[in-house]
């Protein structure tokens, strides 16, 4: 590897909820470990790798110029995004006017829904689902209609098209949030699956917000298919959300963007997100994106995908061989594992709370899966050096699942 994916970063006291947030937000954050165990952060969705050096270099370079006044995003910013999508996702014909700044992907999701919906409207969403969707949609008064994903005979999570259609038809739904790749199930949707979903959305006049924040973290040779690329109709009925924040660990810098080809939709969403006067780019965050989307960033992201693939393969094999009663569908993208512990808990007479606590006590800072609509599930973040992943599985084996 050209880049460093093996050093163990000490993030304590360095602005990281992943380690400093333990015990702070019961029900959301894990408890701190008992004496004698250090923290292995495996919960909130950020990474424990130093990011590509071109990012801090770009930030430092800009920071040396001692004026940080009002600014417009530069041509380099738009060109960097256009090239990234062309090279990595085969997107052709993307122009700067289709790209718009969003402070966060979730803010972009809400701005889009505010345009697609009237207050209290129903929005179709698949479960399990990312807690951020649940929170932002609930807080903004949308009525989530949940269509559960189903595991096929090979354990692969699939959309239930019949259920989706039934709900769209009978409940007069005209907006959907689509998560691609899917957090927390890790699906990288195949083209035919996206096509089929988009056909339904066309049939029932549904506008779509496609959250593709995870689209750069694709594992074991899978391929991301942008929702807007599956048909001309999909291109025009979808607002897609992206960011360098998951890929390069930049959440603390803030900065996402939308791609919207439909001019009417784009104008309305830009207007909507401008209303609170909070949706403005930070100059250092702009330079971070430009640093990320430099040639080194392409190489770094490729190496990251290899590292995460290795971690995921290690973890899934370990679970299959050692943790009887724990089920997992191997993720094809993201760095999350979603463990179904139902059978294990039944067999051992334990509750999910007891199981989670046993992990937290020994520093395995994993996350309660119930907030992602997994009734007896745990979400596990594998974006750590493999040595730390191995240590976490050693502790799970010795102190938790086979204690």
Ligand X SMILES: Cc1ncc(COP(=O)(O)O)c(C=O)c1O
Residues lying near ligand X in the complex (CB under 6 A) are found at: 45, 104-106, 130, 132, 179, 183, 211, 213, 243, 245, 251, 256
Cis previous bond, 128, omega within 30: yes
Measured CA distances, 145 to 1, 166, 194, 241, 382 (Å): 44, 11, 19, 21, 30
Q: How far is the CB of 344 from ligand X (least distance, A)?
A: 26
Considering beta carbons, is residue 243 or 365 the nearer one to ligand X?
Answer: 243
Taking the complex as a whole, the smallest distance from the CB of residue 193 to ligand X amounts, in Å, to 17
Question: How far, in Å, CA of 280 to CA of 45, rounded?
Answer: 24
Minimum distance between the CB of residue 84 and ligand X, rounded to whole angstroms? Answer: 16
Residue 103 or 229: the one with the smaller Cβ distance to ligand X is 103
Q: What is the closest distance, in whole angstroms, from the C-beta atom of residue 34 to ligand X in the complex?
A: 28
Q: What's the closest the beta carbon of residue 278 comes to ligand X, in angstroms?
A: 13
Query: Closest approach of Cβ 370 to ligand X, in Å?
Result: 17
Q: In sequence order, which ranges of 323-371 are alpha helices (DSSP H)?
A: 342-348, 352-361
Task: Kindly give the residue spans of alpha helices, DSSP state H, lying in 143-262.
Answer: 161-170, 191-203, 232-237, 245-248
CB closer to ligand X, 142 vs 204 = 142
- In this complex, which beta carbon is closest to ligand X, that of residue 209 or of residue 283? 209
Residue nearest to ligand X (CB): 104
The DSSP secondary structure of 304-324, one letter per residue, reads HHHHHHHHHHHHHHHHHHH-T
Q: Kindly tell me which of 17 and 251 has the beta carbon lying closer to ligand X.
A: 251
Least separation in angstroms between CB 184 and ligand X: 8
Distances (CA, A) of 126 to 144, 150, 179, 195: 9, 10, 8, 16
Q: Minimum CB separation from ligand X for residue 244, in Å?
A: 10
Among 332, 301, 313, which residue's Cα sits nearest to residue 386?
313
Q: Which is nearer to ligand X, 308 or 400 (CB)?
A: 308
DSSP state of 220: T
Of 255 and 363, CB closest to ligand X: 255
Cβ 78 vs Cβ 288: under 8 Å: no
Chain Cα centroid distance, residue 386: 21
Distance of CA 398 to the CA centre of its chain: 30
The phi and psi torsions of 273 (rounded to 5 degrees) equal -75, -15
Q: Which is nearer to ligand X, 256 or 309 (CB)?
A: 256
Nearer Cβ to ligand X, position 208 or 355? 208
Dist. CA 105–CA 140, nearest whole Å: 15
* Residue number, 44 or 198, with CB nearest to ligand X: 44
Give least dist CB 57 to ligand X, A: 23
* Residue position matching structure tokens 């903004």: 140
Report the candidate in 150, 111, 109 with the shortest Cα–Cα distance to residue 127. Answer: 150
Beta strand pairing call for 99-102 and 175-179: unpaired
Q: Phi, psi at residue 181, to the nearest 5°?
A: -60, 165
Q: Going by C-beta distance under 8 Å and a sequence separation of 6 or more, which residues neighbour residue 89? A: 215, 224, 225, 226, 229
Residue of 328, 287, 275, 16 whose CA lies nearest to 155: 328
Considering the complex, what minimum distance in angstroms separates the CB of residue 9 from ligand X?
19
Smallest gap from residue 66 Cβ to ligand X (A)? 29
Name the residue nearer to ligand X (CB basis): 244 or 385.
Answer: 244
């Amino acid at each position: 590897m050209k880049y460093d994916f093996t050093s163990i970063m000490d993030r304590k006291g360095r602005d990281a909820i992943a380690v400093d947030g333990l015990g702070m937000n019961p029900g959301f954050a894990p408890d701190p470990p008992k004496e004698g165990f250090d923290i292995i952060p495996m919960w909130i969705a950020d990474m424990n790798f130093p990011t590509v050096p071109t990012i801090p270099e770009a930030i430092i370079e800009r920071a040396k110029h001692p004026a940080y006044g009002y600014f417009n995003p530069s041509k380099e910013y738009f060109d960097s995004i256009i090239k990234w999508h062309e090279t990595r996702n085969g997107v052709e014909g993307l122009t700067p006017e289709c790209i718009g700044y969003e402070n966060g992907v979730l803010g972009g999701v809400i701005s889009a829904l505010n345009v697609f919906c009237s207050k209290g409207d129903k929005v179709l969403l698949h479960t399990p689902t990312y807690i951020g969707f649940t929170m932002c949609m609930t807080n903004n008064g949308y009525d989530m209609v949940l269509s559960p994903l189903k595991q096929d005979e090979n354990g692969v999570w699939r959309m239930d098209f019949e259920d989706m259609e039934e709900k769209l038809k009978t409940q007069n739904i005209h907006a959907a949030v689509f998560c691609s790749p899917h957090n927390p199930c890790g699906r990288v949707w195949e083209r035919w699956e996206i096509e089929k979903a988009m056909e339904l959305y066309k049939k029932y006049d549904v506008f779509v917000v496609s959250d593709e924040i995870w689209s750069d973290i694709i594992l074991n040779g899978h391929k991301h298919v942008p929702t807007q690329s599956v048909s001309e109709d999909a291109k025009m009925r979808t607002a897609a959300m992206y960011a360098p924040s998951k890929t390069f660990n930049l959440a603390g810098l803030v900065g996402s963007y939308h791609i919207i080809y439909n001019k009417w939709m784009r104008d309305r969403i830009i207007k909507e997100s401008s209303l609170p006067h909070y949706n403005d780019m930070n100059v250092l965050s702009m330079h971070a994106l430009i640093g990320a989307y430099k040639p080194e960033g392409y190489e770094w992201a490729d190496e990251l995908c290899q590292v995460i693939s290795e971690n995921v393969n290690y973890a899934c094999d370990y679970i299959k061989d050692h943790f009887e009663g724990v089920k997992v569908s191997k993720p094809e993208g993201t760095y999350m594992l979603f463990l179904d512990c139902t059978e294990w808990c039944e067999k051992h007479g334990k509750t999910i709370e007891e199981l989670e606590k046993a992990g937290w006590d020994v520093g395995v800072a994993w996350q309660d899966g119930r907030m992602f609509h997994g009734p007896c599930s745990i979400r596990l973040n594998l974006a750590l050096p493999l040595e730390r992943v191995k240590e976490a599985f050693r502790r799970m084996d010795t102190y938790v699942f086979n204690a």
